Structure 1
Amino acid sequence: QEPWRGDFRLFLSMVKDAALERLGPGPGRYLSYGAYPQPDGGFEFGGGVWHAQSAVLSRLDVAAIREDATHAWLADSAAPRHPLDGLTLPDADKPGAYTWNKAPRLAGEVIETGAIARQLASAQPLVRDAVARHGGTVYTRVLARLIELARVVPMMERWLQQLQSGESYCVPSPQFTEGIGVGLSEAARGSLGHWIVASRGQIANYQIVAPTTWNFSPRDAAGTPGALEQALEGAPVQEGELTPVAVQHIVRSFDPCMVCTVH
């Protein structure tokens, strides 16, 4: 009953006092590429797209990813593009633009990524229950991060015990001089994708969609705001606040890295 007797108990007390379970609602769709691949081809934390409203995990269609640059200081060619066909051409005087961040969409829909997405995709029962009750909020994002730490530490201990001295530590791959390559993985902040096109031994195109690119995306051509912009709508601002505490809670709950996000 004493809130200071444990970090998790203290956090839950803060959630209750600050009503963090109602702050910063997300879009209800969560993307994970799958984390910590295993020799059998599976993942410690499975991937997919979790739809909170229907409580259904669907397979990811990578071909359905598009980046919309309508409101980015980047040339947009009047249409969203798949990363393999993406452009990174600065246009600092572009009318209506307000960010260097493109707006990625999955089948035209806004997506949230991060620890909350990984735990939902991997069927962590406490996170799934909390999201079913409260949605994606400051509370459930931080809760997922705390639970993920508790799950990953014993996994790391097991992996360390499996190390064999003198064994190979990397898998050699053939030289990549022609074709396309796609790398999808989970960084701490969420789903990270790299797309490369090689031609005649040179890089012809290289595009990255970082986790914060998903979460902090601007409005797309239809005027639909990204996950953070939606979460900030209606955030309470107290009288005299120049940097509202509620806004800080919401932004930090997404664990942003704007340096990674700028194309």
Structure 2
Amino acid sequence: MTERLVVDPVTRIEGHLRIEARMDGERIAEAYSSGTMVRGLELILRGRDPREAWAFAQRICGVCTLVHGIASVRAVEAALKGAIPPNAQLIRNLMIAAQHVHDHVMHFYHLHALDWVDVASALRADPKAAAALAQRQGQWPLDSIGHFTDVQKRLHDLLKSGQPGLFANGYWGHPAYKLPREINLIALVHDLDALAWQREIVKLHTLFGGKNPHPNLVVGGVASPIDLDSDTAINARKLAQVQDLIQQMREFVTQVYVPDVLSIASYYKDWGERGEGLGNFMSYGDLPARGAEDPASFLLPRGVILGRDLRKVHELDLDARDQIEEYVAHSWYRYQDGNAQGLHPYAGETALDYEGCGGVPPPYQQLRVDDGYSFIKSPRWRGHVVEVGPLARVLLLHATGHRQTRELVKMALRRLDLSSQALFSTLGRTLARALETQILVDAMQTWYDDLIANIKAGETKTCNQDLWDPVNWPARCWGVGYMEAPRGALGHWIDIENGKIANYQAVVPTTWNAGPRDHQGQPGAYEAALQDRHQLHDPARPVEILRTVHSFDPCIACAVHLVDPQGAGQVRIRVQ
């Protein structure tokens, strides 16, 4: 077998991911993405009451908890053909957007920035110069000499202690790092500021959903009633807190996150030429305006872009059985009628069979890429491999003429002195996530104002309770609950028969992006991106691989499925 460079596990992600790269000198010739854990809930949901599916579906992931819950309740609502009150749509919008803002900021500072920021260099920075530079970039009130000096000392003591926590296992001093010392220090100071900030903003989920993570949801709307005179419902005090949290989000995004991304990107402009791979992008669309359910009202548009052509947005139908299909030719699963076919999620099967498809399960020395090599399936849209996530959404916003998106993209490219082609890259993916965060945090104020206007007009309903009576349900129905999660297009497909769940399939963002090759040999989004003009300074410290993989924000726990319920496919763990 050809020897390959192996990164396993890829750290600073949710779940377990292995990347293997076949090298041609210092260049990556071929890349292989393998989800190496088995986890999922689809089969557990069979036979259960569909009204409780969301509580199980939320446990697919410990990070994206809200989004799986909302996709699940939307699937049931779609199957029952029930509408939810406008207030419920607006509250869901606020909760979804808060998840995006929280997730994107946390991803950049705590999962991705360390691919570009050299911690060791920050120890030699001048705190006074760093604080002055930070004050010119933004208006963050904590950017003082004293704060920078204090954080630098804490960082020094942390590294000296031998227990560096989240700063462990970095390639510090790697020649691929380019930032000046002071910008390294700014990023690390803001990394710690973001930790304190995120503890506050997650309270929006607790105000509307009772807790975080895993806020409470309900089929037909949201779980909290509106009663301005109640101590336990959504009242005037809680609504005032929501307004304050939206303001805190906007301040950090505008004054810290977006300026930091632009500042760091200016030293890595060469990464605007590598790491795209596919050129195909898809969004399910989400965030209806003013409570409307019509996709035409979505802030995040629905559609597919093929071959970088922003002049044409292809229509997407999530119910059509000839559009979305999952393949398992190179996965550790089997389909009853053969692995060369693709299955629409309504007809989806989840049966583990790494032996039957010729793969070798963990532990292994090298993936058998001609056979099965991942616990992740390979979804396709009309046979096309597509990328999902913030870059796909920003491109679709741009393609459909969204004014703020076009202005933000123009501003960013002008600041960085880059052409529009740089959007299609690892750098573009990271930049798009920051610009999308600005768009969403601004939109939150509009949804909040609409909610307040509804309440003032006497409209306080937050749930359609008619959906709760099984007497009104058809004997058999199907529905898809879709949304745009922080990492991309998320869909839950449900089949309800005689009031119980007959089948349930979740196709998640990381399934689209991290899936292996399909029956035609087409690489997944991670694989294609890594094969796109990647040179490694030092194969023993492949920070370049981490930069591109982390730019997708992997969530492998979401992407894998469940073992066969009869126990035919058990995970075997051996310590050598």
| TM-score > 0.5 by shorter chain | yes
Q: Distance in 1 between matches of 2:382 and 2:501?
A: 27
Change over 3 Å in CA distance of 1:9–1:181 after alignment to 2: closer
Match of 1:152 among 440, 462, 473: 440
Greater RCO between the two (CA within 8 Å, min separation 6)?
A: 2
- 1:70 maps to 2:345: no
Confirm or deny: 8 A CA contact 2:380 2:386 kept in the other structure: yes
Indicate the SS of the match to 2:267: helix
- Structure 1: runs of 5 or more not aligned: none
Shift of 1:10: 4.4
Confirm or deny: 8 A CA contact 1:47 1:122 kept in the other structure: no
Indicate the SS of the match to 1:57: coil
Per-residue CA shift, 1:185-221, capped at 9, x if unaligned? 1111110011111223322211110011101110000
Q: Distance in 2 between matches of 1:58 and 1:3?
A: 44
Match of 1:236 among 516, 525, 535: 535
Confirm or deny: 8 A CA contact 1:215 1:226 kept in the other structure: yes
In the other structure, the counterpart of 1:45 is 300
Confirm or deny: 8 A CA contact 1:52 1:131 kept in the other structure: no
In the other structure, the counterpart of 2:206 is none
Confirm or deny: 8 A CA contact 1:131 1:140 kept in the other structure: no
Amino acid at match of 1:255: D
Shift of 1:13: 4.3
Could you say what the CA RMSD is over the residues aligned between the two structures, in angstroms? Answer: 2.3
Q: Distance in 2 between matches of 1:133 and 1:210?
A: 27
Change over 3 Å in CA distance of 1:88–1:127 after alignment to 2: farther
Indicate the SS of the match to 1:147: helix
Match of 1:133 among 407, 421, 432: 421
Q: Distance in 1 between matches of 2:540 and 2:263?
A: 24
Number of aligned residue pairs:
261
In the other structure, the counterpart of 1:252 is 550
In the other structure, the counterpart of 2:350 is 88
Change over 3 Å in CA distance of 1:108–1:131 after alignment to 2: farther
In the other structure, the counterpart of 1:162 is 450
Shift of 1:149: 1.1
Confirm or deny: 8 A CA contact 2:278 2:525 kept in the other structure: yes
Q: Distance in 2 between matches of 1:210 and 1:238?
A: 33
Confirm or deny: 8 A CA contact 1:3 1:9 kept in the other structure: no
Query: Any residues of structure 2 matched to 1:169-248 within 5 Å, and which?
Result: 169-172=462-465, 173=467, 175=470, 176=473, 178-233=476-531, 234-239=533-538, 241-242=540-541, 244-248=542-546
Change over 3 Å in CA distance of 1:207–1:131 after alignment to 2: farther
Change over 3 Å in CA distance of 1:121–1:150 after alignment to 2: same
Amino acid at match of 1:133: Q
Indicate the SS of the match to 1:228: helix
Match of 2:264 among 8, 11, 14: 14
Q: Distance in 1 between matches of 2:518 and 2:133?
A: 43
Change over 3 Å in CA distance of 1:219–1:3 after alignment to 2: farther
Change over 3 Å in CA distance of 1:37–1:171 after alignment to 2: farther
Q: Distance in 1 between matches of 2:556 and 2:522?
A: 20
Shift of 1:232: 0.7
In the other structure, the counterpart of 1:142 is 430
Indicate the SS of the match to 1:49: strand
Q: Distance in 1 between matches of 2:424 and 2:386?
A: 11
- Structure with greater strand share of residues: 1
Match of 2:315 among 55, 59, 62: 59
Q: Distance in 2 between matches of 1:205 and 1:81?
A: 13
Confirm or deny: 8 A CA contact 1:27 1:136 kept in the other structure: no
Change over 3 Å in CA distance of 1:69–1:160 after alignment to 2: same
Q: Which moved more, 1:135-144 or 1:184-193?
A: 135-144
In the other structure, the counterpart of 2:160 is none
Q: Which moved more, 1:31-40 or 1:131-140?
A: 131-140
Q: Which moved more, 1:203-212 or 1:228-237?
A: 228-237
Q: Distance in 1 between matches of 2:259 and 2:374?
A: 39
Q: Distance in 1 between matches of 2:529 and 2:394?
A: 20
- Structure 2: runs of 5 or more not aligned: 1-131, 138-255, 359-370, 399-404, 562-576
Change over 3 Å in CA distance of 1:11–1:135 after alignment to 2: closer
Confirm or deny: 8 A CA contact 2:376 2:516 kept in the other structure: yes
TM-score normalised over the length of structure 1 = 0.90
- Structure with greater helix share of residues: 2
- 1:27 maps to 2:278: yes
Per-residue CA shift, 1:143-178, capped at 9, x if unaligned? 111111111112112222333287122333254552
